[in-house]
Structure 1
Amino acid sequence: MSGGHIPFIAAVVLLVIILASAGCAELPPGVSTGQSGGIPPTEEQSSGQGYNPGYLTPATPYPTATPDVLAAPTLNRFSDTVPTSDPYVTIYQKKSKFEQTIEAYSFNLTRPPLIIEFNVEPKMITREKHTTSSYGDKDEIVVTQRYPSEDAWFRVIVRDSATGKILAEDGFGKGFSADTHKRIFVGRYGDYLLEFSGNEVTVDIQVRVGGV
């Protein structure tokens, strides 16, 4: 073999060694090729405890006498609507179960309006009724009936914080209509006390304002 071929062969071997070393290089510690790069949810987002950034301040409910229990309403639901853009700021949103309980919050409304929307899910009662079929051999049959509990109700009250005067109210059962979705609108400035009370219902409540 001539002397001119040796440097050429040595260069080829060196190149092969360099390429082999590059293919076995490890990634820096902490880096994974399967990492999606997404941001993990915060503790507040993943807890499912509702949304309350602190604009509503927990307060003591206004003292009132216990209302009389009225007859249970029949269930009536609105049809679904197409969602639209919301120009207001959400300051509170939570789905809560009420069992003879009451929640109260104070809020100074400086940028009207104040909008409170709620969806009520009353406790449902299922009963079986034995009756006679009106067809064929008049056999005895069992008919299943399902309706809201007679003790299911919900009430929202907006009061003047200083005087306790009721400025707006609505609800489900106990004298209110049986609509399960309702909306309260307050268009004036003021220092308000918001009260949510009910029994045997699960309610999704959302409070929005013109700005904070």
Structure 2
Amino acid sequence: MTAADSLSVWLHVRREADWHRAPALQRVPPDRDGFRSWCEGPVRLRDPIRAERLLAAYALAREDAARRTPLNFALLARWQREVLAATEAPFRVSDAYAKAGRERYGLTPRTQADFDSCLNETTDPDVPLAARAARAYLDVAFFHPFTDGNARAALLTLVHVLAREDIVLPEVGPLQTTRYADDPVGAADLAALIGVLNRRRQ
């Protein structure tokens, strides 16, 4: 039996979630760059090459944030080529699966366009920044655009959205917990967690 389309479930949750309850973020310089520290710490301990590739992609994401480059799949693919050390990072061509097959992310002729439309909403000034960053992270997780490295792409997207508005989190490790497409509470909690990390000082 084919699993339900978790991408369609996420898009419903995305529309119904009360993103406006997300906390306001403070533009206070952190004591450290959490993404860089994560790469230099636990990632490098596990795999130095993976760490270097992530740092290279992060540099691109920060440069694009400084230039206010519009966020879309093409931009993510540029970062993902660094993450995977690949010459191409195309949009997937079939359904994708995660969580040991418990979540299936369907593919239609409109999936990539829908993904770009969602990413375009990261500049919506009527939605709190923490919510926009959380929502973009979850968009990448549940659209699952790449055949590999989607968790890394989601985190790069989150830090890019924050960096466009001069927010750098001092820690990113707590963001990396399993998220489910049918969990509106979890989506709201991710936005709240961004607020908590924003206020945290080392």
TM-score scaled by length of structure 1: 0.26
Larger radius of gyration, structure 1 or 2? 1
Between Structure 1 and Structure 2, which shows a larger proportion of helix residues? 2
TM-score scaled by length of structure 2: 0.27
Higher relative contact order, chain-length normalized (CA < 8 Å, sep 6+): 2
Between Structure 1 and Structure 2, which shows a larger proportion of strand residues? 1
